[in-house]
Chain A
């Protein structure tokens, strides 16, 4: 293990070290994985981990049993999640008072603690092993697989699982053309939004005659509700770093930059640590592993504007200027950071690279049934039973993700729509559920892959209100340079708001559609060009709902406050007064044991009376 101190000077040294660490790991295969990602930390997993450490110490187990505070384990709503290895026993909602029992029963006696097991919401059966839980079983976890096995602050963990082996292979046996050829053959498409073929992007930049080139990892991740990139950086930062170094080699860059938003302090810290560890081992710096390739990586922290995820705005932001897109051409491959050719790749795109090199382009491209190879991580949220990060082969139908992995709609409600692609994506109705999740298929259906947000909505969601929500986000986040984006989105928002208030007309509705098309066609960057998607896609699939708002002044989902009203059915009401006491506006009157009434002029339509009536006498119209 001297290499850990002296650094690696050649390929054989790297492979020797990997082997040694692997052996050491095999000797101690008992360990506990406590999820240390955001969701579980919010549930209190940090205390759980500390108490485990203390308990293992007390019982004299700290030598034989490892304890890893890992990245996201996936089932965020069951947090804190603890998995006991080597058996893979999955415990959910673990509290500090459960810890002694787990140590006593499972670690010492090999028994399972029944009450902490996961229960399948459909069959009601208790499930012992993590890989048998439908949520995991139906996934194909490639990028996230190692999250269970790795302590993100340990480079040894990564090396023991063969980490940096791909980099070794690339530097020892491949030319940059071969690497690019391999990535092209794998059919990997960018995971950041546009889905541009990664191999082509690298080829274009590598063909540019320039002394200095850069490669930037885009970890801006500004979509509300998305956290795939953060989980990769926090759970397995070395895999992203390895991909970035290989990318640097392929395009001929001597410097890499990881651009992370300031709202991700843990990711920033983990990535900085990973860079320092890699530098110490000689995996970054001059003549890496004895080759002629030298590469350094720095972190750039962005102030967190959605538009800074757009490549040219990102470059401006890295320069320290206002993050505003600029007109292309010239493209970044010609003139990017410091006016040098620059490649920008998304975190997940880069995390795929080591796997492609390791398993071979051919095997990788066979994953998935769609036109592009590999897996995609989605952040599945909304009204499904299981929310969290799911990794599936590209091309898996939406239905399978939502109903088999996500466990279907909560509370026995009906599915209404799924929104994919982040704020500028689109909403797809039930009739599109068999659509494969593929870049081109989603685009053709009026939505997009985006970075992988997936929000599931039930029958109680108003699609007009939803369009309003996303428009508001985009309107706030537009940089404001293009007249049609700035003024266009703000007028669209105004018009959609009027619809939710029942103050619109079919003529205005037609104008809204006309304006949306102009905003899409006439703006400079992706934000404006896709900014009309929430409106266009909901109009495409839910025109009837718009009509109901406009012509009948009625919100079918009962969401838009100006279009709903609350009433008390005087035949049912027994005058218990529960609603009267709860109503925050004091809008309910009535004598005890007599039917009550709601005074419409005072009612704020909060809906509290509806929930408080023990006999369901309050009705929403």
Chain B
């Protein structure tokens, strides 16, 4: 067993457990976009960031790939983490607003506007479909091509893939394909119609004070 500190709490998990798995086991929510329990972690969406290390010497790492280590100090909801996460979500909204998954994330983390130029992409390159295709279907019909801005998903040699087994798994697992509900703010890029969570305690304590979901104080904090 590995013993470490999670939001100040002494916890123990089996060797090889990632910080994300540990946090979820202890009931602490960390948002993810490129993680799936049935696939190998990839670390592409950067949403699952947590703060590790002694205060003053700490840094942000992706919890989905970082293994728990003896004596580690981990904070999942520090101001640094939450503010970074919020800007990342804002950037997702500015890039791919049609996804319900992303709209829900925005609602949940109280991202109410987009300050970046609005784009309309249909893929966030999380790589879930690729890992699904290769790890679950052993088909490898899709993969990444190019790098940087030009990176995208394609089939081998950009031809119709013989390897594809028409399982539809790639579409099922995609967080960007699930269209948003076209709710009340249909014309807006940000809809913010669903649950909204913005812990007021963060401003005063530099850390979340509870991990309840939803938190009563947060709900009230928002109404005021």
Whether A518 pairs with B88 at a CB distance below 8 angstroms is yes
CA separation between A484 and B148, bound complex, in Å?
11
Chain B residues with CB under 8 Å of A488's CB are 91
The listed residue (B42, B88, B116) touching A522 by CB distance below 8 A is B88
Chain A residues with CB under 8 Å of B65's CB are 327
Chain B residues with CB under 8 Å of A486's CB are 125, 148-149, 151
Whether A483 pairs with B45 at a CB distance below 8 angstroms is yes
A-B contact count (CB 8 A): 89
Answer yes or no: A480 CB below 8 A from chain B CBs.
Answer: yes
Answer yes or no: A523 CB below 8 A from chain B CBs.
Answer: yes
CA separation between A488 and B46, bound complex, in Å?
12
0/1 per residue, A476-515, Cβ < 8 Å to B? 1111111110111111001000000000000110010011
Answer yes or no: B44 CB below 8 A from chain A CBs.
Answer: yes
CA separation between A491 and B116, bound complex, in Å?
8
CA separation between A522 and B43, bound complex, in Å?
11
Task: List residues of B (83-136) whose CB comes within 8 Å of A's CBs.
Answer: 84, 87-88, 91-92, 94-95, 115-117, 124-127
Whether A480 pairs with B147 at a CB distance below 8 angstroms is yes
Task: List residues of B (63-81) whose CB comes within 8 Å of A's CBs.
Answer: 65-67, 80
Chain B residues with CB under 8 Å of A484's CB are 46, 88, 91
Whether B95 pairs with A487 at a CB distance below 8 angstroms is yes
Whether B46 pairs with A305 at a CB distance below 8 angstroms is no
Chain A residues with CB under 8 Å of B67's CB are 329
Whether A482 pairs with B84 at a CB distance below 8 angstroms is no
Chain A residues with CB under 8 Å of B142's CB are none
The listed residue (B44, B60, B150) touching A481 by CB distance below 8 A is B44
Q: A327-B62, A484-B88, A511-B115 are in contact. Are A478 and B147 (CB under 8 A)?
A: yes
CA separation between A324 and B130, bound complex, in Å?
16
The listed residue (B60, B115, B148) touching A479 by CB distance below 8 A is B148
Task: List residues of A (305-346) whose CB comes within 8 Å of B's CBs.
Answer: 305, 307, 322, 324, 327, 329
Chain B residues with CB under 8 Å of A476's CB are 148-149
Whether A490 pairs with B43 at a CB distance below 8 angstroms is no
0/1 per residue, B43-54, Cβ < 8 Å to A? 111100100000
Chain A residues with CB under 8 Å of B147's CB are 305, 307, 324, 477-480
| A interface secondary structure, majority | helix
Chain A residues with CB under 8 Å of B94's CB are 491
Chain A residues with CB under 8 Å of B117's CB are 491, 494
Min CB distance A609 to B, Å, is: 36
Min CB distance B53 to A, Å, is: 13
CA separation between A508 and B94, bound complex, in Å?
14
Instruction: For B65, give the chain A residue with the smallest CB separation.
Output: A327
Min CB distance A61 to B, Å, is: 55
Answer yes or no: A57 CB below 8 A from chain B CBs.
Answer: no
Chain B residues with CB under 8 Å of A322's CB are 144
CA separation between A520 and B43, bound complex, in Å?
16
Instruction: For A325, give the chain B residue with the smallest CB separation.
Output: B43
Chain A residues with CB under 8 Å of B126's CB are 483
Min CB distance A530 to B, Å, is: 14
Chain B residues with CB under 8 Å of A514's CB are 87
Min CB distance A284 to B, Å, is: 36
Whether B87 pairs with A475 at a CB distance below 8 angstroms is no
Whether A483 pairs with B44 at a CB distance below 8 angstroms is yes
Chain A residues with CB under 8 Å of B88's CB are 483-484, 518, 522
CA separation between A557 and B70, bound complex, in Å?
54
Chain B residues with CB under 8 Å of A489's CB are 148
Instruction: For A329, give the chain B residue with the smallest CB separation.
Output: B67
CA separation between A478 and B115, bound complex, in Å?
24
The listed residue (A329, A477, A482) touching B44 by CB distance below 8 A is A482
Whether A480 pairs with B151 at a CB distance below 8 angstroms is yes
Chain B residues with CB under 8 Å of A101's CB are none
Whether B84 pairs with A480 at a CB distance below 8 angstroms is no
Instruction: For B149, give the chain A residue with the smallest CB separation.
Output: A490
Instruction: For A521, give the chain B residue with the smallest CB separation.
Output: B60
The listed residue (B59, B62, B80, B91) touching A487 by CB distance below 8 A is B91
Q: Give the interface size bracket for A toward B.
A: 20 to 34
Instruction: For B62, give the chain A residue with the smallest CB separation.
Output: A327
Instruction: For A476, give the chain B residue with the smallest CB separation.
Output: B148
Answer yes or no: A55 CB below 8 A from chain B CBs.
Answer: no
Whether A483 pairs with B124 at a CB distance below 8 angstroms is yes
CA separation between A507 and B147, bound complex, in Å?
31
Instruction: For B80, give the chain A residue with the smallest CB separation.
Output: A521
CA separation between A478 and B150, bound complex, in Å?
10
CA separation between A524 and B116, bound complex, in Å?
23
The listed residue (A305, A480, A508) touching B125 by CB distance below 8 A is A480
Min CB distance B94 to A, Å, is: 8
Chain A residues with CB under 8 Å of B149's CB are 475-476, 478, 480, 486, 490
Chain A residues with CB under 8 Å of B124's CB are 483
Whether B46 pairs with A515 at a CB distance below 8 angstroms is no
CA separation between A184 and B91, bound complex, in Å?
45
Min CB distance A121 to B, Å, is: 42
Chain B residues with CB under 8 Å of A487's CB are 91, 95
Whether A524 pairs with B151 at a CB distance below 8 angstroms is no
Whether B84 pairs with A521 at a CB distance below 8 angstroms is yes
Instruction: For B121, give the chain A residue with the smallest CB separation.
Output: A487
CA separation between A494 and B118, bound complex, in Å?
12
Min CB distance A479 to B, Å, is: 5
CA separation between A514 and B90, bound complex, in Å?
12
Chain B residues with CB under 8 Å of A478's CB are 147-149
CA separation between A524 and B147, bound complex, in Å?
15
Whether A522 pairs with B49 at a CB distance below 8 angstroms is yes
CA separation between A388 and B130, bound complex, in Å?
47
Min CB distance B18 to A, Å, is: 10
CA separation between A491 and B80, bound complex, in Å?
21
Whether A483 pairs with B148 at a CB distance below 8 angstroms is no
CA separation between A511 and B117, bound complex, in Å?
12
Task: List residues of B (134-173) whose CB comes within 8 Å of A's CBs.
Answer: 144, 146-151
Whether A483 pairs with B46 at a CB distance below 8 angstroms is yes
CA separation between A479 and B144, bound complex, in Å?
11
Instruction: For A322, give the chain B residue with the smallest CB separation.
Output: B144
Whether B87 pairs with A483 at a CB distance below 8 angstroms is no
Most central of B44, B144, B150 by chain A CB within 10 Å: B44
Instruction: For A326, give the chain B residue with the smallest CB separation.
Output: B43
Whether B148 pairs with A477 at a CB distance below 8 angstroms is yes
CA separation between A490 and B147, bound complex, in Å?
12
Min CB distance A457 to B, Å, is: 26
Most central of A329, A477, A518, A523 by chain B CB within 10 Å: A518
Instruction: For B47, give the chain A residue with the smallest CB separation.
Output: A483
Chain A residues with CB under 8 Å of B125's CB are 480, 483, 486
**New contact pairs (19) apart from A475-B149, A480-B125, A521-B84, CB-CB < 8 Å:** A475-B148, A476-B148, A478-B147, A480-B148, A481-B44, A481-B127, A482-B46, A483-B44, A484-B88, A484-B91, A487-B91, A489-B148, A491-B117, A494-B117, A518-B87, A521-B59, A521-B60, A522-B46, A524-B62
Question: Which A residues have a C-beta under 8 Å from some C-beta of B?
Answer: 305, 307, 322, 324, 327, 329, 475-484, 486-491, 494, 507-508, 511, 514-515, 518, 521-524
13 residue pairs bridging A and B, Cβ less than 8 Å apart = A476-B148, A480-B148, A480-B149, A481-B43, A482-B43, A483-B45, A483-B91, A486-B125, A491-B91, A494-B117, A508-B115, A511-B115, A518-B84
